[in-house]
Amino acid sequence: MSTPDPHSDQGAGRRGWKLLAETLREQRRGLAIGVAVGLVWSIAKISVPSLFRLGIDRGVERNGSLLFWTLLIATAGVVTGIFTAFRRWVAFRESRATETSLRERLFTHLQGLHIGYHDVAQTGQLMSRASSDLGLVQAFVVMIPLTLSNVMQILGVVVILALSQPMLALVALLPLPFVNLLARRFSNAIHPAVLAVQAEQAELANVVEESVSGIRVVKGFGAEGAQMAKLRKEADDIRAVSLGAAKIRSRFLPGIDLLPSLGLIAVLALGGHRVIDGRMTVGELVAFNSYLIMLIWPLRNIGMTIAFGQRAAAALIRVNEVLATEPAVADPPKAQRLPQRSSSAFTGAVRFSDVHFAYPNGTDVLHGFDLEVRPGESIAIVGATASGKSTVARLLLRFYDAQRGSVSLDGIDVRSLRLADLRKSVAVVFEDTLLFNDSVAANIAFADPNTPQDRIEEAARLAGAHDFILELPDGYETVLGERGYSLSGGQRQRVAIARAIVADPRVLVLDDATSAVDPSKEHEIRAAMATVMRGRTTLVIAHRPATIALAERVALLDEGRVAALGTHEELLRTSARYADVLAAQERREVELKVAQ
């Protein structure tokens, strides 16, 4: 998506910061409040050592009212406490809000992206955009208001110190900028080391994972020793990179601790002599010390914030790569409407004219595919493995757009229809039935969550699923999926058919709906299919003869076009290729499936 750029690193960096600025603009009110709160916090915080100084100089040394000073300092403590809490609260609220809204944007965008994008995108990658990358952004945003008030605190302290003892302030503050510098360098140095440790840990996890899931091989061949050697190597690698990280810590952390002490020594040495000379009070000396200590953490924090910002920018670049991808399949600017469905005439005429299509990875599938399906007719599409049968269904749904030619529904080019209108009119039962981690009823009512229960049950009955659903632990309310009840392949398939029926589509596509099913159970689904096909335009993509026989006509797909068209019997008589394809399929079916 980006053109090669000689300064691509810099360019990408700048783009990341720009994105960050855009994101933050939405949060500007909250951030402004955060800064205001931080300001009060800094003032309260800065006042404390000064109050100590006055307390010691006036109260302790000169017999002033101790009660007054004690109460005054305690009051400053109350204010500091309240605003410490407030500042933290606001910072986290804003950063979590940023993270939450970005994640929603990402999710919304992903749901709208064309299928061609999802074909190549890796789920793991997308997941880490939404979790770890947004986590990095959050970690930075939370530091922004905190850092701003830290900066105010630093400025305030420096001004106070400079006003009271300019020379001493100069000497004492001299080492402190290096705290910031070191903290930033440390953060940058330790980050890759931490990533390296994580990478090595992941490799060890791989060895463990393959040893456990491949335990049959390991035990079968006595390969324990070989796996042990792999693990030993990974354990050694983890130790090596971890010690590398420890070396980085040892190089920076004691130094970061050392620098402020240099300032404290300067205060004791120079300040001490000044007190003896009478140019400074003991209270001032103590306050000076306290102020210097007060600067250490904010300075370290600023260094870390900068490093965090760099990481957040890099993360946002990755997030933006997703957000900047335009959906290749989208609603047309001026959509046409499908003609009304009337009870007198079937609607659902499908026409493919001269369709040419190749997948983005270059796999050439259809060249000049022509097919007309009459309203209410059922057609089986038959072809060898990878001949493009499923592609036909995907083009009708507009998962992809044909490179040449057109696909139309009821006389209207699918590209002129709103996606929602088109897809409400075409329902597909996919080869791999994906059910959601939700109740059976919700899975069936997927097309329309407001479907009344009786229509859900009617659809389930039509699909031949009602009886087994009633036998599930909670009937229609049984939760399915990874963390729920697991159905057999045939049962899942029938739920998927019921899901398609509820949508009441003009065109029904059954994409290899029986392939995942045990042949001995196939007839149950076949019965369901026969029921729902009645009186509805149906495309059946199939390879088992019994399934093919359900359709009124058969189209043989070969070399990207329709090679033969007619009834099953006609094709058996006339097309040698058709018999070949069926025989090839059948040969694979001939196996002993031991029936229970």
- Report whether 255 contacts 182 (CB < 8 A): yes
Residue 136 phi, psi dihedral angles, 5° rounding: -65, -40
Q: Nearest Cα to 161, choosing from 340, 295, 274, 348?
A: 295
Report, in Å, the least distance between residue 7 CB and another protein. 33
For 74-112, b where at least 16 C-beta lie within 10 A, e where not — what string? eebeebbeebeebbbebbbbbbeebbeebbeebeebbee
Is 580 a residue that touches another protein (CB under 8 A)? no
Is 249 a residue that touches another protein (CB under 8 A)? yes
Which of positions 551-570 make contact with another protein (CB under 8 A)?
568
Alpha carbon distance 71, 258 (integer Å)? 35
Residues pairing with 562 in the sheet? 557
Is 544 a residue that touches another protein (CB under 8 A)? yes
Is 39 a residue that touches another protein (CB under 8 A)? no
Which of positions 146-175 make contact with another protein (CB under 8 A)?
none
Report, in Å, the least distance between residue 79 CB and another protein. 9
Residue among 432 and 474 whose Cβ is closer to another protein: 432
Report, in Å, the least distance between residue 526 CB and another protein. 11
Segment near another protein (CB under 8 A); pick from 150-158, 254-262, 310-318, 405-413? 254-262
Residue among 345 and 579 whose Cβ is closer to another protein: 579
Is 361 a residue that touches another protein (CB under 8 A)? no
Q: How many residues bind another protein (CB under 8 A)?
A: 151
Report, in Å, the least distance between residue 89 CB and another protein. 5
Residue among 12 and 218 whose Cβ is closer to another protein: 218
Report, in Å, the least distance between residue 277 CB and another protein. 9
Beta strands in 260-322 (DSSP E): none
Residue among 2 and 75 whose Cβ is closer to another protein: 75
Is 33 a residue that touches another protein (CB under 8 A)? no
Segment near another protein (CB under 8 A); pick from 160-168, 283-291, 332-340, 527-535? 283-291
> Which residues, including other chains, have CB under 8 Å from residue 320's CB and lie 6 or more apart?
15, 16, 19
Which of positions 417-436 make contact with another protein (CB under 8 A)?
419-420, 423-424, 426-428, 430, 434, 436
Long-range contacts of 11-19 (CB under 8 A, 24+ apart): 12/314, 12/317, 13/310, 13/313, 13/314, 15/317, 15/320, 16/312, 16/313, 16/314, 16/315, 16/316, 16/317, 16/320, 17/309, 17/313, 19/313, 19/316, 19/317, 19/319, 19/320
Alpha carbon distance 478, 435 (integer Å)? 13
Is 196 a residue that touches another protein (CB under 8 A)? no
Report, in Å, the least distance between residue 229 CB and another protein. 8
Is 339 a residue that touches another protein (CB under 8 A)? no
Is 498 a residue that touches another protein (CB under 8 A)? no
Q: Could you tell me whether strands 350-358 and 404-409 are parallel, antiparallel, or unpaired per DSSP bridges?
A: antiparallel
Report, in Å, the least distance between residue 344 CB and another protein. 27
3-class SS shares of the chain: helix, strand, coil, % to 5? 65, 10, 25
Report, in Å, the least distance between residue 477 CB and another protein. 18
The total number of residues shown for the chain amounts to 596
Is 228 a residue that touches another protein (CB under 8 A)? yes
Is 233 a residue that touches another protein (CB under 8 A)? no
Q: Which of 18, 28, 232, 337 binds another protein (CB under 8 A)?
A: 232
- Report whether 409 contacts 422 (CB < 8 A): yes
Is 63 a residue that touches another protein (CB under 8 A)? yes
Alpha carbon distance 244, 197 (integer Å)? 9
